């Protein structure tokens, strides 16, 4: 059964009983590291129970002292639940099945698909129908009219189980697809990832939060393994 409620006012013991594990303690970046490094960069900060990317110092299209961050642990079938908030005109993403092999892959999105995090009203990427918030980025459009605007918290869920991938946003199922089959391979072949040989090939990996050069906040990051 999918847990899609919007309330997070549950004691940790309740989550533990239901098999949920916290990936973020609300105080530190323990359990995470910047991709290709052993610790989290200084631009990722923890304030008011959220991990926040301070975008005040740009370095190309990313942030000085930022970079994408990934969990230390790898996951197979899982149900991920978290809240995100994006700044006006901002862009980020929740990336999964990341292969933590920086000597082979420069960026986490070379291996892992993404649930898009975006200010639909302000970011130019929203002009692409498969680049809106909640989309399986560049692959499948999500149900529209569900995302909350920049500056407001959104509850996102990603469920990967037995060849089926489901996205939920603010309690509503916004897309579902199969993976690892011929339709999945054809979909990738028709996307911007077609020349990335490792993209979407392995269905176990790390969870990543993207530095796309904009302020973004994440909190209440929980996961349940199947």
Which residue range forms the structural domain that includes residue 192?
21-225
**Residues in a beta bridge with 22:** 222
Q: Who's near 155: CB < 8 A, 6+ residues apart?
A: 6, 81, 82, 83, 168, 169, 170, 171
112: in domain: yes
- pTM of the predicted model over 0.95: no
Tally the C-alpha atoms within 13 A of residue 173's C-alpha that lie toward its C-beta.
9
199: in domain: yes
CATH number of the structural domain spanning residue 157: 2.60.120.560
Question: How confident is residue 16, by pLDDT bands cut at 50, 70 and 90?
Answer: low
Question: How confident is residue 6, by pLDDT bands cut at 50, 70 and 90?
Answer: very low
Higher pLDDT, 5 or 139: 139
185: in domain: yes
- What mean pLDDT is reported for the chain? 93
Check pLDDT > 90 for residue 7: no
10: in domain: no
159: in domain: yes
Comparing 8-22, 111-125, 148-162, 191-205, which segment has the lowest mean pLDDT?
8-22
9: in domain: no
> What whole-number distance in Å separates Cα of residue 143 and Cα of residue 133?
10
77: in domain: yes
Count the domains in the chain.
1
209: in domain: yes
**pLDDT at res. 18:** 84
Mean pLDDT on 129-144:
98
Mean pLDDT on 108-131:
98
Show the CA angle centred on residue 25, arms to residues 23 and 30, nearest 5°: 70
């Amino acid at each position: 059964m999918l847990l899609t409620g919007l309330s997070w006012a549950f004691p940790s013991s309740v989550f533990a009983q239901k098999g949920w594990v916290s990936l973020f303690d609300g105080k530190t970046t323990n359990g995470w590291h910047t991709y290709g490094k052993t610790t989290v960069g200084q631009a990722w900060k923890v304030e008011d129970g959220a991990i926040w990317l301070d975008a005040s110092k740009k370095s190309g299209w990313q942030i000085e002292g930022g970079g994408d961050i990934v969990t230390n642990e790898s996951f197979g079938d899982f149900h991920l639940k978290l809240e995100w908030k994006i700044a006006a005109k901002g862009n980020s993403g929740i990336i999964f099945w990341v292969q933590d092999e920086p000597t082979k892959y420069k960026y986490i999105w070379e291996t892992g698909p993404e649930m898009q995090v975006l200010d639909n009203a302000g970011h130019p990427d929203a002009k692409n129908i498969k680049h809106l918030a909640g989309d399986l980025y560049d692959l499948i459009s999500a149900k529209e009219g569900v995302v909350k605007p920049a500056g407001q918290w959104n509850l996102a869920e990603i469920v990967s189980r037995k060849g089926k991938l489901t996205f939920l946003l603010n309690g509503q199922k916004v897309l579902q697809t199969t993976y690892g089959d011929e339709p999945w391979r054809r979909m990738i072949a028709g996307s911007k990832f077609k020349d990335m040989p490792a993209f979407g090939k392995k269905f176990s990996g790390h969870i990543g939060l993207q530095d796309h050069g904009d302020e973004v906040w994440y909190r209440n990051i929980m996961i349940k393994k199947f």
